[in-house]
């Protein structure tokens, strides 16, 4: 008895599979549209997946650009400050490059 029911269930599943195959063969336009959508979403060079990756890269590059523009503006400000007065240039040279005047000793204190 259970063998007969199982056989009927398998037969019904087989019939559904055959009917779905016939549906796809009759409606070739739908198959073409589905394949085109899958191609453009996943496979193509201009796919949605690649587009999303490019968008995230663009965002990170724009953030990096903003960082470097800020640094450039800071450096321009420092250059104009150093070129404006001799005392600021001397202070910068003493602090950054350990320069000294004649007959001067420099003591460096290092923190550990």
**Taking a C-beta distance cutoff of 8 angstroms, is the pair 69, 79 a contact?**
no
Whether residue 72 sits in one domain with residue 37:
no
List pLDDT tens digits, range 53-89: 899 999 999 999 999 999 999 999 999 988 888 888 8
Check residue 17 and give its pLDDT: 67
**How far is the CA of 50 from the CAs of 21, 47, 55, 68, 76, in angstroms?**
33, 5, 9, 27, 38
Please name the residues in contact with 34: beta carbons below 8 A apart, sequence gap of 6 or more: none
Same domain, residue pair 32 and 73: no
In this prediction, residue 22 carries a pLDDT of 67
Do residues 55 and 85 both lie within one domain? Answer: yes
Residues 35, 61, single domain; the answer is no
State the Cα–Cα distance between residues 12 and 19, nearest whole angstrom.
10
Question: Same domain for 60 and 71?
Answer: yes
Q: Which domain holds residue 88?
A: 46-98
How many domains, the chain? 2
């Amino acid at each position: 008895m259970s063998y007969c029911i199982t056989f009927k269930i398998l037969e019904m599943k087989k019939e559904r599979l055959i009917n779905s195959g016939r549906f796809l063969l009759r409606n070739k336009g739908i198959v073409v549209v589905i394949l085109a959508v899958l191609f453009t979403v996943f496979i193509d060079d201009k796919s949605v997946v690649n587009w999303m990756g490019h968008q995230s890269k663009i965002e990170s590059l724009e953030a990096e650009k903003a960082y470097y523009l800020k640094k450039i503006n800071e450096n321009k400000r420092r250059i104009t400050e150093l070129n404006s007065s001799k005392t600021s240039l001397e202070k910068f040279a003493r602090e950054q490059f350990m320069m000294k005047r004649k007959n001067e000793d420099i003591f460096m204190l290092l923190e550990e």
